[in-house]
Amino acid sequence: MGRMLAEAIAQPEMSCELAAAIERSGFSLLGADMGELLGGDASGVVVTSDLASVADKIDVLIDFTVPEATLSQAAICGTHALPMVIGTTGFTDAQAAELAQSTASVAVCQSSNFAPGVNLTFKLTEAAALALGNSVDVEIVEAHHRHKIDAPSGTALSLGEVVAEALGRDLEKTAIYGREGRTGARDRDTIGFSTIRAGDIVGDHTVIFAGEGERIEITHRASSRMAFAQGAVRAACWVVQQPVGRYSMHDVLADRPKTP
């Protein structure tokens, strides 16, 4: 994903430039030049594990890591007043609270998915849930590559939250994460999640609204991570122009700033 972000930043239409590249301590390519890693000439931007050492060179940090790493980076961004774009998922409630506290003084754009098509899928899912109400059963099926470490995906959980909010339900109380054995008849108020991890699947999400005699399925399939990367870079270029606050990709796509 880091290489995809670097490639997206290099696209002329993005009107921005890569100023630093951060990786975990012990990463095999620490010290390597990003330009050369991408198959081009040396760029002068070398991979480092120390965000604080390059904080004065950047205007915004894009973070696609794991919750523990994001929290560490967020503390540094808070200290240096650096806006953040956060695509990391899988935060516990305690970690989410810590993240909010660390970034309270900066502009943050956080989304479970930065692909424009996924964010349109959120809107379509909301419209379907509002139109169909409690007349259907709702199931969410997601598939990702074998290396993804959290399940269900953050995007799947976001889709579940969209449905739950539209139907006036509490997702924590109604979510069913897989079924096994004699489970009995399905409770209409539940929202089911099914997870697939296999091969190199980039990311598939389907929301199923199943009623008597008909079924509606809303599906988004990603064929390349570039859609995520381009969306995240677009969010980065947008959030640096916003006042302190928390934003989502919906705000970016709508170009909807908040009042300070």
Q: Enumerate the active-site residues.
A: 144, 148
Helices (H) and strands (E) in the chain, counts: 10, 11
- Closest among 106, 156, 113, 97 to 250, alpha carbons compared: 113
- Closest among 227, 213, 161 to 191, alpha carbons compared: 161
Specify the 3-state DSSP secondary structure of 209.
Answer: strand
Return the structure tokens found at 158.
């976001």
CB-based contacts of 99, cutoff 8 Å, min separation 6? 70, 71, 74, 86, 91
Give the sheet arrangement for strand 203-210, strand by strand.
175-177, 191-197, 137-144, 203-210, 215-222
